[in-house]
């Protein structure tokens, strides 16, 4: 059976869209039981909202997918509380307050769900990755910025929330963050802020003292997260963690030395760059009111 026939015949398909700061990917999931999908499209993320909308709609319309349950969208941006639009997006300012979900519903005649990329990353790792056996856990991405989402569950119920881990304030830190606050964790861990301060990309920094400081500050942020939410495990993702494998053992050692009264297991996220698109599709496996955007 060809892919095309397979797609046309499958009415339990879902579409996942991952809108990153740089690229957008669209995939077809024939089932939500596995993280496998077919690539439908990949294009540079358009800064102009109308252009981005047009390209998503055209990609879905021309993909031969005639029957699907819904479209899940992961965005590198914060989603309004009702889950229908984007309301904070330093990298995509033109998208703010546009009726994104309704525009897609109208054009593609399909249910649409939106979520922050950290929420989608968490959902993917919870369903198929390293967080499967944890009821209380987090997904933390350490990249251009530092973002996170938490999952707090018990038995058959759970709540998932996007949180601003990068903008927690560390005592004694007088550096001004790009968000406007003084003292944020992200002044030490955000790739963009590091590049602005050091005048070179973090990928070019090999200085041991730099990485010790980086690890120390991020470990404090993770310990605070564990104390505030009583989570048991964190899946770490994002380019900085994935490209510097020495970081995770350093962080775990710091966390173990600092955190008292509980333990926090740090793990490398398993799904890599596919986590947001996989999580976007799996939004349809979860009632909307389980997610606090």
d(CA 138, CA 125): 10
Q: Which of 91, 110, 181, 258 binds Zn ion (CB under 5 A)?
A: 181
d(CA 254, CA 259): 9
Query: Minimum distance between the CB of residue 83 and Zn ion, rounded to whole angstroms?
Result: 24
Nearer to Zn ion, 52 or 193 (CB): 193
Q: Which of these ranges, 50-58, 177-185, 222-230, 278-286, lies near Zn ion under the rule CB under 5 A?
A: 177-185
Query: Minimum distance between the CB of residue 213 and Zn ion, rounded to whole angstroms?
Result: 18
Q: Which of these ranges, 8-16, 22-30, 126-134, 179-187, lies near Zn ion under the rule CB under 5 A?
A: 179-187
Query: Minimum distance between the CB of residue 186 and Zn ion, rounded to whole angstroms?
Result: 5
227 binds Zn ion (CB under 5 A): no
Kindly give the interhelix angle for 117-128 and 275-282, rounded to the nearest 10 degrees. 80
Query: Minimum distance between the CB of residue 184 and Zn ion, rounded to whole angstroms?
Result: 3
Query: Minimum distance between the CB of residue 127 and Zn ion, rounded to whole angstroms?
Result: 30
184 binds Zn ion (CB under 5 A): yes
167 binds Zn ion (CB under 5 A): yes
d(CA 30, CA 11): 8
d(CA 203, CA 41): 29
152 binds Zn ion (CB under 5 A): no
126 binds Zn ion (CB under 5 A): no
Q: How many residues bind Zn ion (CB under 5 A)?
A: 5
179 binds Zn ion (CB under 5 A): yes
194 binds Zn ion (CB under 5 A): no
Query: Minimum distance between the CB of residue 146 and Zn ion, rounded to whole angstroms?
Result: 9
Nearer to Zn ion, 158 or 173 (CB): 173
Nearer to Zn ion, 158 or 181 (CB): 181
173 binds Zn ion (CB under 5 A): no
Token pair of 165 as six digits: 């881990």
177 binds Zn ion (CB under 5 A): yes
Closest CA to 213 of 243, 266, 175, 163: 175
Phi, psi of 154 (to 5 degrees): -155, 130
Q: DSSP 3-state helix, strand, coil percentages of the chain (rounded to 5)? A: 40, 25, 35
> Distances in Å between the alpha carbon of 208 and those of 121, 181, 187?
30, 28, 18
Query: 174: number of CA atoms within 13 Å, CB side?
Result: 0
On the 0-12 / 13-18 / 19+ scale of CB atoms within 10 A, 201 is exposed
Residues 86-105 interacting with Zn ion (rule: CB under 5 A): none
* Cα pseudo-dihedral 269, 142, 81, 126, rounded to 10: 10
Task: Return residues touching Zn ion (CB under 5 A).
Answer: 167, 177, 179, 181, 184
């Amino acid at each position: 059976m060809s892919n095309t026939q397979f797609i046309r015949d499958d009415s339990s398909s879902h579409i996942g869209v991952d809108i990153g700061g740089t690229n957008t990917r669209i995939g077809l999931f024939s089932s939500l039981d596995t993280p496998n999908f077919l690539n439908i499209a990949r294009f540079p993320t358009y800064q102009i909202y109308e252009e981005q909308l047009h390209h998503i709609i055209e990609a879905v319309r021309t993909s031969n997918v005639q029957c699907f349950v819904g479209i899940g969208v992961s965005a590198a941006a914060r989603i309004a509380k009702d889950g229908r639009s984007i309301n904070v997006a330093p990298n995509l300012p033109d998208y703010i307050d546009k009726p994104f979900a309704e525009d897609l519903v109208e054009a593609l005649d399909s249910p649409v769900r939106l979520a922050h990329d950290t929420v989608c990353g968490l959902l993917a790792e919870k369903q198929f990755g390293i967080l499967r056996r944890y009821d209380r856990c987090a997904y933390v991405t350490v990249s251009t910025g530092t973002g996170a989402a938490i999952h707090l569950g018990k038995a058959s119920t759970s709540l998932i929330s996007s949180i601003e881990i990068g903008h927690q304030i560390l005592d004694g830190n007088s550096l001004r963050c790009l968000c406007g606050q003084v003292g944020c964790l992200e002044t030490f861990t955000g790739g963009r802020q590091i590049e602005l301060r050091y005048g070179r990309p973090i990928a070019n920094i090999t200085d041991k003292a730099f990485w010790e400081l980086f690890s120390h500050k991020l470990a404090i942020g993770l310990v605070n997260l564990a104390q505030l939410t009583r989570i048991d495990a964190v899946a770490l993702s994002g380019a900085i963690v994935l490209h510097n494998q020495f970081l995770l053992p350093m962080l775990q050692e710091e966390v173990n030395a600092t955190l008292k009264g509980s333990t926090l297991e740090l793990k490398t996220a398993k799904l890599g760059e596919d986590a947001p698109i996989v999580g976007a599709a799996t939004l349809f496996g979860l009632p909307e009111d389980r997610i606090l955007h």
